[in-house]
Amino acid sequence: MANLNDLAWWQKTIAYEVYPKSFKDTHGQGTGTIAGITEKLDYLAKLGVGALWITPCYKSPMVDNGYDVADYYAIDPSFGTMAEMDELIARGRERGIRVVMDLVFNHTSNQCPWFVESSSSRTNPKADWYIWRDAKPDGSAPTNWRSIFGGSAWAWCEERGQYYLHTFASEQPDLNWENPDVRQALFDVANFWANKGAGGFRIDAITYIKKPAEFVDGPVDGADGMSAVHAATANTPGILAFLREFKAAVRDGRDIFMVGEANGVAAEELGDWVGEQGVFDMLFEFNHMLIPMHKSEVWCRKVEWTLTDLKRVLAASQRATALNGWYPMFWENHDQPRSTVNFLQCEGALAKKAKALGTVLLTMRGTPFMYQGEELGYGNASWDSIDEFDDLSTRNQYEFALREGLDEVGALAACVRYSRDNARTPMQWDASEYAGFSTAKPWLPVHDDYATCNVAVQEADPDSPLSWYRTLATLRSEHPVLVAGDWTELMADDEQVLAFERTWGNERAVTFANLSDKPAAYDPALVEGLTPIVATTLGTLAPLESVVFV
Ligand code: GLC
């Protein structure tokens, strides 16, 4: 039985992800600011948040909204100043909220001075800080790899007469982790932020840092004649040695946590990545995110799935981290459509959907990671044309869909369903113009229903998703079984209900979430001796009803 005192602070808290550009604008410019986050710390404290992950706000040309870093030691002026960042860290600590920085270490911006120098010649001191290769004899790219954002993963550099590799956009050249100087430069960045008082790190796109020894063409897998770079470079053997070095240089001896973003790691491999032998404290593996999306991550390709498909992968990750390691539970982040649309294929009100998913999120074993707005129950935004999207991957997916033979209507529908911009519309604080996010027109539109779906309205409504999230956060803080307890799946074959039991010594808790729009049933014997936290009819669940028994 896990002793509560043996658990680290980050295992006992709730994490919340902020996308700064869309959270709160204090400059009247239509994009969010660091000072805006500081202003909302009390709101986060009321949600039980103890770890605040903010996506990159370093100096950047913003081709990928900050995931193209030009200077890891500077705050982008659009977000504010380093003094304001220090203020956020300090004010957060006063409320028991530690700021978690996002480290983008697979690549930099092409405007980063490291890349500017590296690309200037084949002989400069940073000549091999990035992945440079000669063209094929016919002048074409070294391999047929397709970047994650579409098009070739290679871009030509005139000065060097060579290509460089970019797993993402061409403005995001991949760093060469084989070079020890590169590794040291990155560890220095992490230590700089840890010394500033960051409570932890989310490490971006980490499975791509190790490249294979030989670069060879992959099997063509799309109408563009290319092969996904992911298949060639994700989770390449040898990667763990780099990450062990990273851990020793940054994490060891500090009371912080590191969570890696690790698309491409299977549940069976988690033991190498987290826990005693692992390199991270937690890992965002994507196994459940790939249930409602085609496994090629091509949005226009159809996928059929059932609730038991989802339950199977969630249970596999729970089992893999049960004895060793820790799980970060999440339904949403800034790269995913809203969970009410993504994970629920049934009819029903968004508020009910959000509450059902929230019940699972906040009672699973692991640290819950909420994403801004999830607690309000957003749906996807309404988009009428491809021109309304800002995200570069959305535009690429649109082109890809057209090439795959879809018409414009079909291509747009795929983007409306999966676009990352669905998660990036402004946070809705109140019913004023622009939803209290800004006094200027926001960079992405607020939702049509912002007058009713906002923090002010939901705070006043005891039945709202926000009130439910707060209730669950309090419940978690009062019942150690929900933090430290073991996890056992219940009703594994049921196609409507996601159910599990938590046990800790003599304490038990049971969660049921009916993720369908039909009434459902469970065996009342499962909750004998326990009390529901809200009124419910024993043994039955209304459509989308969820309940916790403790
Ligand atoms: C990660 C980020 C995503 C970004 C990409 C490239 O997947 O979450 O937003 O576009 O890495 O840095």
The encoded tokens of residue 345 equal 């294929």
pLDDT, average across residues 477-502: 98
Q: Whose CA is nearest to atom 4 of ligand 1?
A: 67
From the CA of 106, give the closest atom in ligand 1. 12
From the CA of 168, give the closest atom in ligand 1. 6
Q: How confident is the model at residue 2 (pLDDT cuts 50, 70, 90)?
A: confident
pLDDT at 317 over 90: yes
Query: What residues have CB less than 8 Å from 43, skipping those under 6 apart?
Result: 455
- Residue among 313, 360, 365 at smallest CA distance from 339: 360
Centre a 10 Å sphere on the Cβ of residue 221 and count the other Cβ atoms it contains: 15
To test ligand 1's pocket by mutation, which of 17, 332, 335 has the most ligand atoms within 8 angstroms of CB?
Answer: 335
pLDDT at 476 over 90: yes
Q: What is the per-residue pLDDT for 268?
A: 86
Least-confidence region, from 323-332, 354-363, 420-429: 323-332
The catalytic residue among 17, 64, 174, 204 is: 204
State the Cα–Cα distance between residues 477 and 484, nearest whole angstrom. Answer: 11
pLDDT at 324 over 90: no
Q: Please, what is the average pLDDT of the chain?
A: 97
Q: What is the per-residue pLDDT for 33?
A: 98
Please indicate whether residue 105, judged by its CB atom, sits closer than 6 Å to ligand 1: no
Q: What is the per-residue pLDDT for 275?
A: 87
Using DSSP, state whether 244 is helix, strand or coil. helix
The total number of residues written for the chain in this structure? 550
Distance of CA 347 to the CA centre of its chain: 26
Please indicate whether residue 104, judged by its CB atom, sits closer than 6 Å to ligand 1: yes
Q: Give me the helix-helix angle, 408-418 and 392-403, nearest 10°.
A: 140
Q: What does 419-474 look like in DSSP terms, one character per residue?
A: -GGGGTSPP--SSSGGGGT-SS--SSPPPTTTTTSSHHHHHT-TTSHHHHHHHHHH
pLDDT at 211 over 90: yes
Distance 149 CA to ligand 1 centre (A): 10
Q: Which phi and psi angles does 501 have, rounded to 5°?
A: -120, 145
Q: How confident is the model at residue 153 (pLDDT cuts 50, 70, 90)?
A: very high
The answer to whether the predicted template modeling score (pTM) of the entire model surpasses 0.85 is yes
The catalytic residue among 102, 261, 281, 391 is: 261
Give me Rg for the CA atoms of the chain.
23
Tens digit of pLDDT for each residue in 249-276? Answer: 999 999 999 999 998 888 888 888 998 8
Query: What residues have CB less than 8 Å from 492, skipping those under 6 apart?
Result: 308, 311, 315
Q: What does 429-440 look like in DSSP terms, one character per residue?
A: -SSSGGGGT-SS
Distance 363 CA to ligand 1 centre (A): 28
Hey, what amino acid is at 487? W
- Residue among 93, 276, 112 at smallest CA distance from 196: 93
Tens digit of pLDDT for each residue in 416-454? Answer: 999 999 999 999 999 999 999 999 999 999 999 999 999
Please indicate whether residue 62, judged by its CB atom, sits closer than 6 Å to ligand 1: no
Share of the chain above pLDDT 70, in %: 100
pLDDT at 379 over 80: yes
Q: Whose CA is nearest to atom 7 of ligand 1?
A: 205
Share of the chain above pLDDT 90, in %: 95
Distance 66 CA to ligand 1 centre (A): 9
Given a contact cutoff of 8 angstroms between Cβ atoms, the answer to whether 481 and 367 are in contact is: no
Given a contact cutoff of 8 angstroms between Cβ atoms, the answer to whether 274 and 257 are in contact is: no
Q: What is the per-residue pLDDT for 323?
A: 81
pLDDT, average across residues 190-196: 98
204 is catalytic: yes
Distance 74 CA to ligand 1 centre (A): 19
The encoded tokens of residue 129 equal 């800080």
Q: Give me the helix-helix angle, 465-478 and 350-363, nearest 10°.
A: 10
Q: What is the per-residue pLDDT for 40?
A: 98
- Identify which has the larger pLDDT, 322 or 115: 115
pLDDT, average across residues 274-286: 92
pLDDT, average across residues 479-503: 98
Centre a 10 Å sphere on the Cβ of residue 526 and count the other Cβ atoms it contains: 16
pLDDT at 541 over 80: yes
Helix (H) or strand (E) holding 258: strand 257-261
pLDDT, average across residues 195-217: 97
From the CA of 333, give the closest atom in ligand 1. 8
Helix (H) or strand (E) holding 549: strand 546-549
Q: At the fourth CATH level, which superfamily is domain 12-108+180-382+421-473?
A: Glycosidases (3.20.20.80)
The encoded tokens of residue 297 equal 């991550």
The encoded tokens of residue 494 equal 């049921």
Tens digit of pLDDT for each residue in 41-98? Answer: 999 999 999 999 999 999 999 999 999 999 999 999 999 999 999 999 999 999 999 9
Hey, what amino acid is at 410? G
State the Cα–Cα distance between residues 297 and 310, nearest whole angstrom. Answer: 16
Q: How confident is the model at residue 280 (pLDDT cuts 50, 70, 90)?
A: very high
What residue spans in the chain does CATH classification 2.60.40.1180 cover?
486-549
- Residue among 317, 356, 327 at smallest CA distance from 339: 356
Given a contact cutoff of 8 angstroms between Cβ atoms, the answer to whether 358 and 351 are in contact is: no
State the Cα–Cα distance between residues 448 and 531, nearest whole angstrom. Answer: 39
Centre a 10 Å sphere on the Cβ of residue 508 and count the other Cβ atoms it contains: 18
Distance 240 CA to ligand 1 centre (A): 21
Q: What is the per-residue pLDDT for 263?
A: 86
Query: What residues have CB less than 8 Å from 5, skipping those under 6 apart?
Result: none
What residue spans in the chain does CATH classification 3.20.20.80 cover?
12-108+180-382+421-473
pLDDT at 1 over 80: no
Please indicate whether residue 389, judged by its CB atom, sits closer than 6 Å to ligand 1: no
Overall fold of domain 486-549? Immunoglobulin-like (2.60.40)
